[in-house]
């Protein structure tokens, strides 16, 4: 399916919000005029077809990170295909919704955290669109778009959630939960919350010049507290309530978006990032990167 075939004329100019739904958020029932469309990627299969639709006059493109019915484990998610497909669909900004564990007493289960930093402890995941034949280095100093993060936090607050603004997300490999020693070490490192999916997702969004924000739904206290440990059943129970709030927050986000989308510096994150001389660029990889980096690599 060509990207230009899924851009209806009724959308508000400027904004097109990609939503990556995490654990407990596998659909987005509030979308009007919803259409499920399979969009292919040169980086393999995305987690699922995208669902496009609108809330009011704002277009959303929804993609469930784990696939329908949560069939894909964290370490097997094809984050490159997911981000590339969203870019191919003309998304301007990406809001990730994720279940997270808390590493702080004041970040209680049931609350939300608008993350602003990451520590990446994943390994073996394909974490860049670039490679041999086309090298690029983007800045990840500030990995989250502050504008989108603030809007997402405001929307969650309007939906009635308890929202914490800012927090460092420790991305662990999974699929197992942390040992108690690991959980306590992550606290010493300054991490506030923990999850398994935000990396390399956030890195890839930056390479694709997509402003990215993550709204985390706290489901548990991880395992750093004496006597506490994480059980999947407990997580599922909290997620059920959190998912309803997350859907409500997305509806409020549509109302809170400014009428005009002012350009973000992240829209041009690849300016100055390309290292390989034009004459030395691999034409196959360059073509593969058309949707992600065609603006600067073509």
pLDDT score recorded for residue 37: 94
195: β partners:
171
CB count in 10 Å sphere of residue 187: 16
Q: Does the annotation mark 4 as catalytic? A: no
Per-residue confidence (pLDDT) for residue 243, from 0 to 100: 81
Which CATH code for domain 14-293?
3.40.50.1580
The predicted-structure confidence for 176-193, as pLDDT tens digits, reads as follows 999 999 999 999 999 999
CA atoms in the 13 A half-sphere facing the CB of 65:
27
Per-domain boundaries in the chain: 14-293
For the chain, residues with pLDDT lower than 50 are: 1-10
CA distances (Å), origin 106, targets 4, 99, 225: 46, 17, 13
In this prediction, residue 227 carries a pLDDT of: 74
Q: What is the reported pLDDT for 104?
A: 97
Of the residues 45, 222, 228, 260, only one is catalytic, namely 222
Written as one string, the DSSP assignment of 117-157 is: EEEE---SS---S-BTTB-B----SS-S-HHHHHHHHHHHH
| Catalytic (active site) residue 27 | no
Of 45, 32, 38, residue with least CA distance to 78: 45
Q: Measure the CA–CA gap between 77 and 65, rounded to whole angstroms.
A: 7
Active-site residue among 93, 120, 192, 220?
220
User: What is the model's pLDDT at position 229?
Assistant: 65
- Report yes or no: 53 and 245 within 8 Å, Cβ to Cβ: no
pTM value > 0.85: yes
């Amino acid at each position: 399916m060509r990207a230009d075939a899924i851009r209806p004329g009724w959308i508000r100019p400027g904004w097109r919000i990609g939503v990556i739904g995490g654990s407990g958020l596998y659909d987005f029932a509030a979308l009007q005029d919803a259409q499920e469309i399979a969009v292919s990627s040169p980086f393999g299969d995305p987690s699922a077809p995208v669902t496009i639709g609108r809330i009011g006059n704002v277009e959303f493109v929804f993609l469930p990170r784990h696939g329908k019915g949560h069939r894909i484990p964290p370490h097997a998610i094809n984050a490159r295909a997911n981000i590339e497909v969203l870019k191919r669909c003309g998304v301007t900004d990406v809001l990730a919704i994720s279940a997270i564990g808390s590493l702080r007493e004041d970040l209680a289960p049931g609350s939300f955290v608008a993350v602003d930093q990451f520590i990446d402890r994943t390994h073996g995941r394909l974490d860049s669109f670039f490679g041999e034949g086309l090298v690029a280095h983007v800045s990840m100093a500030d990995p989250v778009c502050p504008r989108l993060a603030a809007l997402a936090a405001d929307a969650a607050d309007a939906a009635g959630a308890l929202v914490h603004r800012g927090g460092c997300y420790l991305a662990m490999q999974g699929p197992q939960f942390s040992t108690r020693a690991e959980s306590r070490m992550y606290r010493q490192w300054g991490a506030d919350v923990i999850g398994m999916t935000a990396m390399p997702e956030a890195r890839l969004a930056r390479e694709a010049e997509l402003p990215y924000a993550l709204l985390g739904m706290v489901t548990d206290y991880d395992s750093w507290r004496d006597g506490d440990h994480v059980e999947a059943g407990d997580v599922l129970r909290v997620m059920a309530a959190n998912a309803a709030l997350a859907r409500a927050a997305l509806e409020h986000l549509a109302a809170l978006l400014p009428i005009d989308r002012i350009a973000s510096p992240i829209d041009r994150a690849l300016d100055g990032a390309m290292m390989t001389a034009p004459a030395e660029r691999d034409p196959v990889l360059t073509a593969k990167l058309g949707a992600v980096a065609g603006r600067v690599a073509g």
